[in-house]
Structures are given as C-alpha cells and as structure tokens.
Structure 1
Amino acid sequence: MPLPPLRPSPLVAQAAARLRGQIAAGEWPVGAKLPGEATLARELGVGRSTVREAIRELAGAGLVRARQGAGVYVVATEPGEDWSARLRRASVADVYEIRMMVEVRAAELAAGRRTRADLARMDRALAARDRAFAGPDDAALVDADIALHVAVVEAAHNPLLTDLFAGFAPVLREGLLDLVRLVDVRASDAAHGRTAHAGLVDSVRARDPGAARRTVEAELRRTLDALGALPGR
C-alpha cells in the first residue's frame, strides 16, 4: 500500500514513526521483508539516507533486523524494553542476585589483573568508606560503599563488566539506602563491614582469586539476606 508523502522536518523521526505505524498495523508482519530503500524513499517522499536512518532507529528499538545481503526483516511489532528500563522495574533482590554473579567473577579477575594504580584506588575507596561509616550521612555511606565495589570491578579490566555493574548502581543505591535507614548498620554491622571490605581489598592485593571470590560472595550474601528481610521486599 503506497504511503502518503511526509511533511518537512524532522524527516527521520517522521519516517521512523510512519514505518513503525505500518509495522504495528500489520502491513509488514513479523518475518516479512521491508521494501527496499529506493521504494520506501519514493513512497515516503524522502531521500534514501533518511530512510536508512529511520530503519536504524527501528533496529535500535528491536523492531527490524538487517540480514547481510538479504534485506531488512521485521522481528517484532512493538519496541523492546531497553536494559535500563528493565533494571528500573526489577526488584532490588533480583538485581542483587545478578550482581553477585557479576561481582564474584569480577573479584576473581581483579585478583589476577590488578595493577598498582588499581590497588591505590581501592585503598582510597576503602578509606573513604571508613570515613563515611564514621559520619552521620547515610547517602554518603552508601555511595562510598558502592565506590569501593566499583574500584574492584574496574580492576578486572573488563569494560563490559564495568558497564554492567554501572547499570546496576542506581537500583543498588536505592536498596542500600532503604537498608541503612531501616537498620542501624553502623551499630549492628561495624566489625563485619570493615573486616569484609578490607579482606576483599587484601585478597585482590595478594592475587588470591579464591579468597577474593569467597570474601565478596559472603559479604554480598549477607546484604542480600538483609535486603530480603526489609518490609515490602
């Protein structure tokens, strides 16, 4: 079915919206091949470069996928939910379980790959956590705690692990803030918290992957159990 010409600018957004509407309406069902760039450009009344950018937007939304040498095919009729949105909807406990998988492996890698600069960064983060623990600001304590774990993950020198952990950080921060506000962490967890975090840094310093794994796993398990006990979790 021919498409009516589009109004001027922003052409890419309009083209993407029009094609998205055609897909949603069933003009091209899942598995169907889109018409070629020249055909779409003619029907939409735009240049081929505009069509190309519009299709890129659809691909980014998970609606179409290009097959090398075969064309562009519809793979979904509704946009997929991006990872950030999915994380925002997830429970803190669910995120923490994934965090454990990621950070336990990251600690092992850090023990084998850390540099002097990594150790210096971890030592500074541990000292900052100690200072925050001694102060009254709950948000500062949570931020300092996360910063220490970020330093360990970064010492693994895997940019994908670093990015994945960074994606968890906002949800983790929310859950940890709930925890420190509802539980007197400074009174009930002072010894364990300092010992666990210092032990993690020492394990990485000693290049002991097994100790690093066990230390971070035990610490995160304690926090996960505490989060699971919070009202509404």
Structure 2
Amino acid sequence: MPRLIYIHGYVEDPSIFDNLAPLLPTNSVLKLNLQDEFARWNPDDKTVNVSTLAQYLAKTHQIGPGDVVIGHSMGGWIAANLKAQTGCRAVLISSYTDVKKVITFTRNIGLVRLLVHWGIVQSKGFASYALKKYPFDESRALHKSLIGNMTNQPRRFVYQQLRVLLAPFPLPHAVPDLRIHTRPDNVLRFPDEPFHETPGDHFNLVFHPEAVAAPILKWLEITASQ
C-alpha cells in the first residue's frame, strides 16, 4: 500500500482531513502542516509559488512515484505540481489545476501583497464581509472557524499562501489521477475535466467523507491490482 500524504488548503490545517483519513488506508500516512513547513523552509517570499513549494516538500519528505498525495483545495494544486515534479500520484478534492478556476476579486500579486501588508485581508471588516456572504448552512460554522484562523495567522504566512494560490508560474504537465468535486462551491469553479461528484460544498470531505472516500478507495484498489 502506498504512503498517503495529505496537504490541506488555504488557512486550513491537517484537521480538515480528520473525518476522511480514517476511511482510507492508515498504515503509512503523512499529514503536512503548511504553516510548519513554511517556518522550516523560510524562503525569500518573492520566490514563493506552488512550484517552488512543491520542490521544497518533495526534497524534505522524499516524495516520489510510490506516494499518493491527497490535497484539498490549495493542497490539491500543490499535489498536482508534486506529481509533475516527482511522478507521485495526485488526488484532488475540491481543487484545481487552472488558477482561473479560483474565485477571487484580483489575481494581481502586487495588489495582494499590499492588501496583506496593510492588514486588510485579515481585518475585522473583511472577515465580517466574508461571513455575511457565505451561502452554505452545512459548513457555515467551519467556514467561520477558518476565517478566524486567517485573522490569527502570521501576516507573512497568509501572504505566502496567497502566492501559492495565485503567483504565476509554468503550468504542470501531469494529469491528476483523481478529481473529486461538488458543483455548489463559492471558492472554486468546477473543472472542465471529468470528475467524481459528491454531495455538499467546498468542504465535502468534512461533511460527506464517505462519498469522498468511495472513489479514492476504488481507485486505490484498481491501481493496486495493476
């Protein structure tokens, strides 16, 4: 059985996988905490993008073809880049391989840097706006806790995550092995490529873990027999 490596999304932490991970093989598991990874890496922020982060993670954790990287949201974006660089397999949950699928009011990294530097991204006003506009009752409490995470995270780490989400770089040339999505999602537009559809919203892995686990287990069984 391959090692399963979990990578969480923007302002999340590894606990986002707490409901899903017990439904998948547990003999060899690594859950990455990106805040800890960035603290150890301590890069020049101008060089940070999803590709340079994937390079760092691949080297630090010896990620290779025998591994399966399961990423949620931004974590799936990282997983796809790890596959392009290392040949590992990539499972994307509510994620993307096209930055244009991210629903955001700007992709201008210079403007993003200023908004973070001025404290606007982590301001009470921005948090209040995000909470008021959130459309899904099922995950409303979780979304509120993640907004709280964002306001409390170090400003530099918030900017580093936004660079991973949005900073331009050459697109990966590897096709993810599995895409799992919902159609109701206010964070991402669903992909043009085929995907397994589940109930719920962007946080389907938390509220519908069995539906998310099912295609992963089937895929793992098929790949093990090949």
Question: Which TM-score band applies after superposition, normalised by the shorter structure?
Answer: under 0.3
Question: Comparing both structures, which one devotes a greater share of its residues to strand?
Answer: 2
For CA contacts below 8 A with separation 6 or more, give which structure has more relative contact order: 2
Larger radius of gyration: 1
TM-score, structure 2 as length reference: 0.27
User: Which structure has greater helix proportion?
Assistant: 1
